[in-house]
Amino acid sequence: MKLYKEPFYTSHQVLYKGCFFHSMLELKFVLSIEDNFRFLREPVHICYYPKTLKTVRKSDQLTRIYTPDFLIRHKEYGWVWLIEIKPDFLKGSPEVNYCEQIMKNFIAKNRLDWGTAIIYSNDIVLSEAKQKKFEIMRACKDKYEEAIALKNFIRRYSFFGKSYYRTVPVHRADLITNRQYENFVRYGLLTKKRYGKT
């Protein structure tokens, strides 16, 4: 099978399966894993103290909020990772190290079974079919940005405006509900399990 590795692209917003992505790099990552993994977009908002990177459940005047890009869980084997997507030029930077440590602190505090991973642009490999799909969507990036800008404008002034900040993707092939899908990715089960409980 022919594989492609692409360089980092200038950031462009895009919509895919009802989820809002900040960049084509995030889209490319999802295309690379969606056949074998279920994913949640921006699955948790982590409150932390910037001096110590200690995570807390509630924010205050001294805390900041960090939001990892994805939580993914393998459909068959149950492997699960909290994911941050970064361009290659940030490899080894303090920003990346902080992100990874905050994720690890959050997982330890809540006694979750999640791993962590920083995925760089050169780590993402697409099959030939996925590369073609990516190229089609990349060619339409300006239309996505226009649509997002219009929808955000409408949403600002209309109570009924649609939000694109979804966590659970739509248009899936599985026959489970959105809640079951989210519970599977978070907990490995179709029924809910609270943070910090065993």
* 116 burial level (CB within 10 Å; 0-12, 13-18, 19+): middle
- Predicted local confidence at residue 150, as pLDDT: 63
The tens digit of pLDDT for each residue in 115-169 reads 999 999 999 999 999 999 999 988 887 776 666 666 666 556 554 444 445 789 9
Residue 46 lies in a domain: yes
Give domain status of residue 53, yes or no.
Answer: yes
pLDDT single digits (tens) 93-123 = 999 999 999 999 999 999 999 999 999 999 9
**Within-domain flag for 112:** yes
Residue 194 is assigned to a structural domain of this protein: no
How confident is the model at residue 151, as a pLDDT? Answer: 62
169 or 194, higher pLDDT:
169
Answer yes or no: is pLDDT of 37 > 70. Answer: yes
Whole-number pLDDT of residue 70: 97
Condensed to tens digits (0 to 9), the pLDDT of residues 66-92 reads 999 999 999 999 999 999 999 999 999
In a domain, 195, yes or no: no
Which range of residues forms the domain containing residue 14?
3-187
How many domains does the chain fold into? 1
Residue 73 counted as domain residue: yes
Whether residue 181 lies inside any domain: the answer is yes
Read off the CATH number of the domain in which 125 is found: 3.40.1350
The answer as to whether 133 is a domain residue is yes
Q: In the prediction, which pLDDT does 164 show? A: 44
